[in-house]
Amino acid sequence: MQHDDPRIQLALDRAAEARGLAYAPYSGFHMGAAVVTDRGTVVPGALVENVSLGLAMCAERVALFAGVASDAGRPEVLALVARLTSGSLTWPCGACLQVAMELGGPDLVIAASNGKRLQVARLGDLAPNLPHKPGQARPG
Ligand SMILES: [Zn+2]
């Protein structure tokens, strides 16, 4: 996976910015995300928590859904910036991967970073057995 794709840096920069806007008074786990679409549009998302904890929404899905709501185009890159989890980079959760599969398909590029380290993977390689839309290429 190419790390020098300029779309990845674009998404990471915007995700880092959105991370600063995360509403995380309960976990303190500030997460920001951003999507770059096939039109070159960058759509940010931030974690939004709630006192009713199950209502929290991940930064990645906020960005993916905002892309739909703003007619931004098909997601091609999804970046997530958060602190490490048990010493490893934090990757999108299963729910976010499933939404990303629906909207971006298996070739969507996912970039996970804590602001220093970076890992990049194709969605279909990261999660080869996710359910996919009828007619969509098999993920793996
Ligand atoms: Zn998630």
CA–centroid distance, residue 59 to ligand 1 (Å): 7
For 3-15, the pLDDT digits (tens) are 789 999 999 999 9
For 77-128, the pLDDT digits (tens) are 999 999 999 999 999 999 999 999 999 999 999 999 999 999 999 999 999 9
Structure token pair of residue 62: 């906020």
pLDDT for the residue numbered 133: 84
State the pLDDT confidence band at 136, using cuts at 50, 70 and 90.
confident
Domain contains 121: yes
Residues in the chain: 140
Rounded CA-CA distance 131/70 in Å is 25
Q: What is the 3-state secondary structure (H, E, C) of 19-55?
A: HCCCECCCCCCCCEEEEEECCCCEEEEECECCCCHHH
Establish whether 60 is a catalytic residue: yes
Domain contains 136: no
CA distances from 22 to 31, 45, 116, 121, 140 (A): 6, 8, 19, 24, 32
Domain contains 20: yes
DSSP-derived pairing of the beta strands 109-113 and 75-81: parallel
Domain contains 138: no
**The domain spanning residue 39 has which CATH number?**
3.40.140.10
CA–centroid distance, residue 4 to ligand 1 (Å): 25
Q: Which domain holds residue 68?
A: 6-126
CB 106 within 8 A of CB 74: no
CA–centroid distance, residue 46 to ligand 1 (Å): 11
Q: Is residue 1 pLDDT above 70, yes or no?
A: no
Domain contains 19: yes
Residues with CB under 5 A from ligand 1 (ion): 58, 93, 96
- The number of folded domains in the chain is 1
Active-site position among 17, 49, 60, 102: 60
Domain contains 140: no
